[in-house]
Every structure is written in C-alpha cells, then in structure tokens.
C-alpha cells in the first residue's frame, strides 16, 4: 500500500537554529573556520543547506577538513620544529607525537558537539543574557550539577520561582545547559501581537514595520511572487497531506487487519509509480511502511531548481519586523537595562546563588553587600558607536604597560575615561605603538591587581562601564595604538560567591578536583583544560574580547602555572626531559594550541604573547610543526638579572658576559622575544622599582648627591637602551618607569590602612625641570630611534665586542653601531671598536647629553668619526671612540668609503 500527496510540506528552519546551539549533534568533521553570514537562506523541506554552497568553497573546506588527520600528511609534523632546530631527543619527540594525538582526539570530541571551531569559540552569542527579536530576553547557563535553575533579581523581586527552568523540561539538556526565557511585559492597554513570532528590531532607525504595511499584505505579496497556484495550500492547512495518508491506510476504505496490508515497496519505487500517473510532484509525502508513522519527503529536482531561482519569501518576511519605537510603545523589558541579578540553583547540597559565569558586567561585593551581575543592554542612543579601525600591526612592538586604576595622580581609583582623556595622548607622545592593559577583567579585591579573576567576560566596574572601555579602545585605535590585554587563563579566583569555584554546588564543573584543582602557592583554582565545556568557555572568552571590544592581542599570564602540575615552581636546567615528564599537563598544552590556532584563524592580525619563566620548547613555533603557536614570548630572566645587579652586586663586578647571555638568551628564538628592563612586577607586591633603588636613598643635602644622581640617571638609561636594542622584536615598559617614577606601587590593603597614597602615578614630575623630565626626554628619543631606523624589526645584532675587564659591550644591528661602557669609573679616550664597513659614522643618540641629564662630555666635533683601516674584533675596520663611564652611544653609518 502506498499513498502520496503532491503538496509542499514547507517545514523549513533557518540554518543557524541547529548549528548555533552548543551541543547540536552534527557529523564529526575537522576544523573549518567559516565566518558567520547574516543573510538567511531559503530551504526546501528535504534540502541540506550545506549542499548549496559554492563548489569552490566546498573544495576549500574539504582540504581544511583533511588537514592534520595523519602525522605524515603534508604540512603537519608533530615534532617538526625539533628537526628544524637540529634537536635530537627521542623522549621529547615521542611526547610531542602523543600530545598531537591528544589534540586530535579533543578536536574530534569538540566537533561531535559543535559544527566548527568558530562556533566553539562563539559561546558568548548564546550563553548569558541576550535580546531576542521576539520581544524577550534569553538566558543560558552551564551548570551540570544543578537540579533547578532560575534567574533572580530586582526586576522580579528576587523570586526563585518566577523566571526558571527545570530539569527534564525544555530548559535543560543532557550536557547541563539551562535555558530561561524572560518575556517582555505588555504595557497597560496594549494587545498582544497577532503573530506570536512577531519580531522587533531594537535599533531606532529601522522602522520598516512601522510604515503601516500589515503582515497579511506582506505574506500575500510573498506568496504571489514565490508560489505557483496551489503550491501554498499548506499555509492554510499544513496537515492535509498526513491526514489523507492516515485516512487512506487506516480509514474505512483501507485494510482492516495486518494480514490485509500487502508488501509495501520502498518510497522511491512508490514515488516513481505515482509520478508516472500524476506527473512530477513539487513535494510528495510518502508513508515509509513502518509500524509507526514516518513520512519521507520526496522533492522533484526540476521543481527544486525552479524554486532556487526565485527570490525567497524570507526577504519579505523581514518587512514584518517592527522598530524599537513600536516595541517601546507596546512592551516594557522583562529585565530592564541596569537591573541587578544572580542565578539561583537548587542542588543536592541545597539552594545557592551565584553570579552568572557569562555575565558581561558585574558589581563586586561592596560594604558587605553581595556581588551581582548587571544586565547591560543600553539603548541605541547610549550604546557606544565605533569610529576607528584597528591600526595595522607593526613589525616591531613598543608596548606601554598600564593599569587603569593607578594611572591618575590623585590617591583614588582612576576611571576608563580618565585614562582615555589624560594618559592615551601621553602614550602617543612618548612614542609607543601599543598598550598592554592589566587588571581589566573583573577580579577579586582591588589589591590583587587583577590576577584573581572572578568574572571572565566582564570589564572591571571599578573603572567604568563597558561603553567607557569601548571608548578607550576606540580612541587608542584612533591614535594608532594597539590594545593588548593581559589575560589570566592559567588560574582563577577561589571565591565561591562571585567566582566560578564550586559554581553549581555539587559538581566543580570548571576546575579540577583534589590537589590538581588548587594552585600550590597562590590559593587559586586550576581549570579543567581537558573538558570540552571548559574549553568552550575559555576559547569563547578570548574571542569575546576581540569581537565585543576589538582587542588587538593577548599576553597569556603565567602559562607555566598551567603547563605543569607543580605550577612552574621547580628548578629547570634546560634539559628536555623536564618538558616531557610526568609533571607536564598535556591538556593545558592542547588548550594553548587550540587558542592560538583558533585566534589566528578567525583574526589573522591578532597578537599572542606567552609569559613563561621555563622557556618551554616550541612556544613560538607553528602548531603544525609541534609548537604552541605564540607570536612572542617574554624573557623573564632579564628583569631578574637587572634587579639582582642593582640590589646585590657592586657596580664594578657586573659581568658583561652574563648581561649579553641573558639578554640574547637563545639566538634562534630571539626574533620572537619580548624584552623589558622592568615591568609592574618590579614595583608591585612589596618590591621596589629601579628608580626607587637608584634614587630612593639619595639625600639632597649630602656631599655625594650629584654623583649619586648621575649614577642613577646613567644606569637607568643604558639599562633600557641595551634591553631595547639587543634582543627581539618587542619591548615593554611599565607606566611611569620611563621617567623614573620614584615610588613603588602599593595597592590599598589592611597592612597600609587601605591607603591609596602609593596607588597612583606622579605625572606632575614631568612638569618640573630635573632628572625625571630628562629621563622622559631620553626614553622618548629612544622610541623615536626605533620608529625612524626600525631597530627592533631588523635581524638579531652581531655582538662582536664583550669585554668583562673594560666593561664595554658593542654590537651592530642594521646600519647602527651600539657601544656601552658600564664601568663605574673608567672612561676611555680612544677605545677601538671593530666595524665592517669603512666610512663616516655619526652619533645619533648619546646617553650623556645634557638634555638627558648627562654631563655632555663629548663635543660636537666628536659626533663624527672616520674608520681606521685596522682589523679589530674580527672585522676589517675600526673606530676609535671616546667612552665616558656609564654611557652609551649609537652610531649610524652616514657615508661608505671605497678603498
């Protein structure tokens, strides 16, 4: 028995419905980084939307799909960088291959639940609070250990029963994701929309639906243009086909017993028989012959091509959307902008309240009041409108590290707007091309500087609103400055009331259990990097800061804390066994690889920097060759060396060999190195800044005041100049250190009676004549040196002169010759330094100039020198230079002499 009906069954959903949910079951595939398209496709009842892509696009995706499937595949070598570097180490090579297998398994697991990696990293589009065009707000949260979930807040009287979802109902899936709908409320005297799915556009200048054209008129217009006569019958009676099939098989004219039912051919055979009698069918519903009712939908190819050639009715349907003004007249928001709210769980251990994990704005605990999330949905008039594009990424980075809260002169917490108006222009004037912001993400207690993060998607409310931070980033871009965010994914705050620890009460979903879940020394929690849902959270967090705030890069804070079970607190000798033993966390390494792969695929201009004290092999190597994929790594041994020298080693005992070896470190990776003489670590947490060490104990009334001031100023300059010019392609300076800020940073704590006296910067020092103004003038010219001559972007220098006896260092980088005399007393009148090119050399930067606080020993005629044809330092020619003690000079070849 077979039955067919030639009517369209038109059940067609937008393709984003299934693919956007975090755990839609899709066929496993390898990574395809497609950018989201906002246009909506028309689809027939049985059509696979993916089949309608451009063939070239399908081929491109097929190639991407197959990439990395096998170790031997072209372009993929899990231990490739070892051969590139000439490293032979079987155990480490085997570890890299095993790590690659863990990575492949994780990708396969992820792609069973997400269509692609772009969707994996876009969880913020679904989780948390989101405005829906059908006059409602949707809320989604991951809490697998909860039995009941509700949103409580001042908008519903903090009721745990009014806005809720329950297990085994629509609001909870098998992976622990809860879904709650907060309906907007009809205003008094208003009637509900005729169509329950009526959509609203929340931008004021989109009021097409307010033009007076009714929904009925638009539907009629769409039908007339799209459907042939009779094809739209299903609009009025969409169950006509199934009803007739049911009646034919089980009605009064159908078989009365099972024995009466003959053998039923397969659906294709039945359709061909029916089509031979009745002609091709646009859509034919055919009973499958099973004991239960299942209907196959057959679509005639010719009819399908005809429909594809027509303009789809979806475009007309958008005309039914009403604008924001119409919505405001008819509805009041279910949760108004600025409302305080928390998520309420009922668990096996009882009820509890939490700040939502995906909250984008949070008010921390103040004066004993419980922390709350703030619903941030500003009106179009209040929402920030971006004006500037991100600057082009330079070949070298001159990074100004800053903390917004301490950026003002007054003893208080400064705001985003203060920083935008006062500090951004200063940074531009100082000659830096990037800003690295610390402490931006909402964190536990101000004195923790921002490292005990509680709410990973929220800017800290201490400094202002999300719109204020967007303005800061936008204005920085307008000045040509990149914004790099220091991101803390290596651990999180252990706080349960406002952070993620024991988030769902009965199941510590975000963090490892037992000792592995606790940082051994800092009292923080360690993420469960091997869990796909935790990866969904962390990778989405990275993408969020780029999409929402247009961040240009990340410095990953303390990756050694996450890469090792001992949190990096172990002695490292550099032997490769230390990087592949039982203390290395493969899951954390896999997360870092995924983070770099996804970030660089979705945002090709993104910058990623690794802060790792252990120099993990392959930090900046391509992930396809066994590396972790970072663009830069921080040489943390440099500031430690300078601190040790300044505090513990007499000036005349400084080792030039140690200075060079520490600064250059590994020459093979030097082009990926970020260097700094000191950052915030040297002036925070009870430590002293270099300026405090050099100038802090100088007595203005002492006999040696001028000598001590000259020593401090000279060392401050030459330390920075050699750190900037001898290493890699990136340099960093902490806010205020460029002019020798005389005081350390001390955040308000109980130990200092919560004082803000040292939690600021003394910008007024730059308005007065003296050492601080001189040091700023030098730092500014040092930045100009790189901007004009491109020092950092050039190849690693040829270091040809290192003399521990005379304490002189010299090297050549590009067209520049750098000479440093670290000796505390000895000056040299005719010191021979080798150069390769014969010609005339001119000093273009001299640390001893009077405008930099020096003595001005060299006269104008000494700024121009000609080479002598004598082999020195293994080079064909030499210069005989005057080197006052504790000074440095930069020479540029002005004219080549041919001999």
Write down the H helix ranges in 677-733. 690-695, 705-726
**650 and 768 inside one domain:** yes
Question: Do 534 and 681 share a structural domain?
Answer: no
Contact 6, 280 (CB under 8 A): no
**Residue where a domain stops, chosen among 613, 632, 651:** 632
Cβ neighbours, 10 Å, residue 705: 12
Q: Are residues 544 and 675 located together in one domain of the fold?
A: no
The predicted model gives 762-767 an average pLDDT of 94
Q: Of 50, 42, 46, which Cα lies nearest the Cα of 26? A: 50
704 vs 782, more confident: 782
Distance CA 855, CA 126 (A): 64
Residue 709: how many other CB atoms lie within 10 Å: 17
Q: Tokens 């109902």, residue? A: 169
Do strands 148-153 and 164-166 pair parallel, antiparallel, or not at all (unpaired)? Answer: antiparallel
Residues 612 and 640 in one domain: no
pLDDT of residue 836: 92
Q: Are 558 and 449 in contact (CB under 8 A)?
A: no
C-alpha distances out from residue 418 to 412, 566, 759, Å: 12, 41, 15
Largest CA distance in the chain: 119
What is the structure's pLDDT at 203? Answer: 73
pLDDT at 97 over 50: yes
Q: Which residues contact 125 (CB under 8 A, 6 or more apart)?
A: 20
CB 821 within 8 A of CB 859: no
Q: Which of 611, 632, 653 is at the close of a domain?
A: 632
Domain CATH for 812 = 2.60.40.1180
Instruction: Using alpha carbons, select from 865, 775, 868 the residue that is nearest to residue 819.
Output: 865
Angstrom distance (rounded) from CA 562 to CA 556: 11
In this prediction, residue 398 has a pLDDT band, given cuts at 50, 70 and 90, of: very high
Assess whether pLDDT exceeds 70 at residue 2. no
pLDDT in tens, 112-170: 999 999 999 999 999 999 999 888 999 999 999 998 999 999 999 999 999 998 655 56
Same-domain pairing of 651 and 555: no
Same domain, 434 and 558: yes
Is 6 among the domain residues? no
Q: Is the pLDDT of residue 52 over 50?
A: no
**From CA 752, how far away is CA 754, in angstroms rounded?**
5
Residue in the structure block whose two tokens are 């330390």:
719
pTM above 0.85, yes or no: no
Q: Output the pLDDT for position 802.
A: 97
E strand intervals along 766-827 = 798-803, 808-813, 816-821
Query: Is residue 611 among the annotated active site residues?
Result: yes
**Tell me, what CATH number does 342's domain have?**
2.60.40.10
3-state DSSP call for residue 851?
helix
Look at residue 227 and tell me whether its pLDDT is greater than 80.
Answer: no
Q: Is residue 446 part of a domain?
A: yes
Residue 72 to residue 844: CA distance in whole angstroms:
53
* Helix (H), strand (E), coil (C) string for 157-185: CCCCCCCEEECCCCCECCCCEEEEEEECE
Mean pLDDT for 769-796 is 95
Both 684 and 734 in one domain: the answer is: yes
Beta bridge partners of 842: 864, 892
Pairing status of strand 441-443 against strand 453-460: antiparallel
For residues 313 and 226, give the distance between their C-alpha atoms in angstroms, rounded to a whole number: 7
Q: Are residues 339 and 397 in the same domain?
A: no
36: three-class secondary structure by DSSP: coil
Percentage of the chain beyond pLDDT 90 is 59
Question: Taking 80 as the threshold, does the pLDDT of residue 349 lie above it?
Answer: yes
Answer whether residue 218 shows pLDDT above 90.
no
Q: Are 776 and 738 in contact (CB under 8 A)?
A: yes
Q: What share of the chain is helix, strand, coil (3-state, %, to 5)?
A: 35, 20, 45
In the numeric block, the tokens 């409108």 are attached to 385
Domain boundary among 319, 352, 385: 352
Nearest Cα residue to 830 out of 805, 877, 876, 865: 865
Q: Best-predicted range by mean pLDDT among 173-182, 325-334, 879-888? A: 879-888
Provide the β-strand partners of residue 808.
803, 821
Q: How confident is the model at residue 674 (pLDDT cuts 50, 70, 90)?
A: very high
> Which pairs from 169-176 meet CB under 8 Å and 24+ separation?
173/23, 174/23, 175/22, 175/23, 175/113, 175/142, 175/144, 175/533, 176/142, 176/143, 176/144, 176/145, 176/146, 176/504, 176/509, 176/533
- Do 722 and 795 fall into the same domain? yes
Alpha helices in 501-655 (DSSP H): 532-549, 559-563, 586-602, 637-648
Cα–Cα distances in Å, from 349 out to 146, 158, 342, 379, 525?
A: 10, 21, 19, 40, 21
pLDDT at position 282 is: 57
Q: Is the pLDDT of residue 544 over 70?
A: yes
Contacts for 580-584 with beta carbons within 8 Å, 24 or more apart?
580/91, 580/92, 580/94, 580/95, 580/96, 584/95
Give the model's pLDDT for residue 59: 39
Both 328 and 402 in one domain: the answer is no
497 with 511: CB under 8 angstroms?
no
Angle between helix 656-664 and 637-648 (nearest 10): 160
The CA distances from residue 190 to 185, 187, 216, 324, 589, in Å, are 10, 6, 20, 16, 57
Does 152 fall in a domain? Answer: yes
489 alpha-carbon distance from chain centroid? 10
pLDDT at 300: 62
CA dist 161 and 182 (Å) reads: 12
Identify the band that residue 174 occupies on the pLDDT scale cut at 50, 70 and 90.
Answer: confident
Residue 64 lies in a domain: no
Q: What percent of the chain has pLDDT over 70?
A: 78
CA distances from 49 to 43, 46, 717, 803 (A): 7, 9, 63, 70
Which of 149, 350, 19 has the alpha carbon at shortest distance from 139? 149
Nearest CA among 621, 798, 724 for reference residue 396: 724
Lowest mean pLDDT among 11-20, 287-296, 792-801: 11-20
**What backbone phi and psi angles, to 5 degrees, belong to 337?**
-55, 135
| Active-site residue, from 141, 377, 578, 611 | 611
Q: How far is CA 756 from CA 278, 405, 631, 641, in A?
A: 87, 10, 37, 30
Domain range for 471 is 377-632
> ∠ CA(301), CA(304), CA(307), 5° rounding?
155
**Tens-digit pLDDT profile for residues 619-663:** 999 999 999 999 999 999 999 999 999 999 999 999 999 999 999
Instruction: Assess if residue 535 is contained within a domain.
Output: yes
pLDDT tens, position by position, 606-621: 999 999 989 899 999 9
Residue 757, class by beta-carbon neighbours within 10 Å (0-12 exposed, 13-18 middle, 19+ buried)? exposed
Mean pLDDT of 192-198: 78
Report, in angstroms and rounded to the nearest whole number, the Rg of the chain calculated over CA atoms.
34
CATH number of the domain encompassing residue 404: 3.20.20.80
CA within 13 Å, CB half, 606: 25
Whether pLDDT at 484 is above 50: yes
Specify the number of domains making up the chain: 3
Domain for residue 686, yes or no? yes
- Measured CA to CA in angstroms, residue 134 lies from 138, 162, 185, 261 at distances of 10, 20, 12, 47
Distance CA 610, CA 615 (A): 10
Spatial separation of the C-alpha atoms in residues 730 and 669, rounded to whole Å:
13
Q: Are 588 and 613 members of one domain?
A: yes
Among the residue ranges 507-521, 532-546, 725-739, the one predicted with the least confidence is 507-521
Burial of residue 655 (number of CB atoms within 10 Å: 0-12, 13-18, 19+): middle
Question: Would you give the DSSP letter of residue 344?
Answer: E
pLDDT value of position 242: 57
- The pLDDT of residue 681 is 79
**For residue range 423-441, what is the model confidence (pLDDT) as tens digits?**
999 999 999 999 999 999 9
CA distance 16 to 36: 9
pLDDT at 608: 98
Residue 628 within any structural domain of the chain: yes
pLDDT band per the 50, 70, 90 thresholds, residue 297 = low
- Tell me: the pLDDT tens digits for 11-48? 232 333 333 333 333 333 333 333 333 333 333 323 33
Could you tell me if residue 81 is inside a domain? no
Give the highest mean pLDDT range of 143-157, 251-265, 297-311, 560-574: 143-157
Confidence of residue 233 (pLDDT cuts 50, 70, 90): low
Averaged pLDDT of the chain: 83
Q: Looking at the structure, tell me whether residues 649 and 773 fall in a common domain.
A: yes
Residue of 685 and 828 predicted with greater confidence: 828
Dist CA 477 CA 495 (whole Å) = 35
């Amino acid at each position: 028995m077979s039955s067919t009906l030639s009517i369209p069954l038109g059940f067609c959903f937008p393709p984003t419905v299934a693919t956007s949910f975090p755990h839609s079951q899709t066929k496993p595939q390898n990574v395809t980084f497609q950018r989201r398209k906002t246009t909506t496709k028309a689809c027939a009842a049985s059509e696979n939307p993916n089949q309608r892509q451009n063939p070239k696009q399908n081929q491109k995706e097929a190639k991407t799909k197959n990439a990395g499937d096998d170790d031997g595949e072209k372009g993929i070598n899990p231990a490739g960088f070892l051969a590139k570097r000439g490293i032979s180490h079987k155990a480490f090579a085997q570890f890299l291959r095993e790590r690659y297998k863990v990575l492949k398994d994780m990708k396969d697991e992820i792609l069973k639940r997400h269509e692609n990696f772009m969707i994996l990293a876009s969880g913020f589009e679904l989780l948390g609070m989101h405005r829906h065009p059908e006059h409602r707000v949707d809320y989604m949260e991951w809490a697998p250990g909860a039995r009941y979930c509700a949103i409580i807040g001042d908008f519903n009287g903090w009721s745990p029963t009014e806005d809720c979802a329950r297990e085994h109902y629509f609001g909870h899936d098998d992976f622990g994701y809860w879904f709650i709908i907060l309906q907007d409320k009809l205003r008094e005297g208003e009637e509900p929309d005729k169509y329950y799915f009526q959509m609203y556009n929340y931008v004021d200048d989109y009021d097409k639906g307010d033009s007076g054209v009714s929904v009925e008129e638009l539907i009629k217009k769409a039908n007339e243009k799209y459907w042939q006569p009779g094809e739209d019958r299903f609009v009025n009676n969409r169950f006509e086909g199934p009803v007739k099939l049911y009646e034919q098989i089980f009605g009064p004219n159908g078989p009365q017993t099972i024995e009466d039912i003959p053998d039923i051919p397969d659906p294709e055979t039945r359709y061909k028989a029916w089509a031979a009698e009745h002609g091709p069918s646009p859509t034919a519903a055919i009973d499958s012959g099973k004991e239960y009712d299942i209907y196959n939908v057959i679509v005639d190819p010719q009819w399908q091509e005809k429909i594809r050639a027509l303009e789809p009715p979806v475009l007309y349907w958008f005309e039914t959307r009403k604008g924001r003004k119409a919505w405001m007249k008819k509805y009041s928001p279910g949760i108004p902008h600025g409302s305080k709210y928390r998520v309420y769980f009922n668990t096996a251990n009882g009820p509890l309240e939490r700040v939502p994990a995906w909250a984008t704005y949070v008010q921390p605990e103040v004066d004993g009041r419980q922390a709350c999330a703030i619903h941030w949905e500003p009106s179009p008039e209040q929402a920030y409108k971006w004006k500037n594009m991100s600057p082009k990424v330079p070949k070298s980075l001159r990074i100004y590290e800053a903390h917004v809260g301490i950026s003002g002169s007054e003893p208080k917490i400064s705001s985003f707007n203060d920083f935008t108006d006062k500090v951004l222009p200063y940074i531009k004037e100082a000659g830096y091309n990037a800003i690295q912001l610390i402490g931006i993400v909402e964190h536990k207690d101000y004195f923790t500087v921002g490292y005990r993060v509680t709410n990973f998607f929220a800017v800290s409310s201490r400094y202002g609103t999300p719109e204020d931070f967007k303005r800061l980033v936008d204005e920085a871009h307008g000045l040509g400055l990149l914004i790099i965010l220091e991101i803390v994914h290596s651990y999180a705050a252990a706080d349960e009331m406002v952070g993620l620890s024991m988030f769902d009460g009965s199941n510590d979903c975000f963090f490892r259990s037992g000792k592995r879940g606790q940082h051994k020394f800092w009292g923080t929690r360690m993420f469960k990097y091997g869990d796909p849902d935790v990866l969904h959270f962390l990778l989405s967090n990275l993408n969020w800061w780029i999409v929402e705030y247009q961040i240009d890069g990340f410095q990953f804070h303390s990756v050694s804390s996450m890469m090792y079970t001992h949190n990096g607190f172990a002695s490292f000798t550099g032997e490769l066994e230390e990087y592949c033993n039982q203390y290395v966390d493969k899951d954390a390494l896999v997360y870092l690889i995924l983070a770099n792969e996804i970030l660089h695929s979705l945002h090709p201009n993104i910058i990623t920097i690794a802060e790792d004290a252990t120099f993990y092999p392959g930090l900046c190597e391509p992930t396809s060759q066994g590396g972790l994929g970072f663009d830069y790594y921080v040489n943390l041994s440099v500031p430690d060396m300078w601190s040790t020298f300044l505090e513990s080693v007499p000036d005349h005992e400084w080792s030039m060999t140690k200075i060079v070896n520490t600064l250059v470190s590994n020459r093979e990776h030097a082009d990926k190195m970020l260097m700094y003489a000191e950052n915030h670590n040297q002036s925070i947490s009870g430590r002293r800044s270099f300026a405090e060490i050099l100038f802090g104990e100088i007595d203005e009334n002492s006999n040696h005041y001028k000598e001590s001031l000259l020593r401090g100023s000279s060392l401050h300059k030459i330390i920075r100049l050699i750190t900037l010019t001898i290493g890699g392609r990136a340099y960093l300076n902490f806010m205020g250190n460029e002019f020798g800020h005389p005081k350390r940073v001390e955040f308000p704590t109980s130990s200092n009676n919560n004082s803000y006296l040292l939690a600021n910067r003394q910008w007024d020092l730059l308005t007065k004549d003296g050492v601080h103004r001189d040091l700023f003038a030098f730092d500014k010219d040092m930045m100009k040196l790189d901007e004009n001559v491109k020092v950092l972007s050039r190849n690693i220098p040829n270091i040809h002169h290192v003399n521990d006896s005379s304490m002189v260092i010299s090297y050549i980088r590009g067209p520049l010759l750098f000479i440093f005399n670290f000796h505390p007393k000895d000056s040299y009148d005719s010191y021979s330094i080798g150069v390769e090119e014969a010609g005339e050399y001119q000093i273009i930067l001299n640390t001893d100039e009077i405008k930099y606080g020096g003595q001005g020993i060299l006269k104008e005629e000494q700024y121009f020198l000609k080479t002598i044809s004598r082999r020195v330092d293994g080079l064909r020619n030499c210069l005989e230079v005057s080197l006052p003690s504790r000074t440095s000079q930069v020479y540029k070849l002005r004219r080549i002499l041919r001999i």
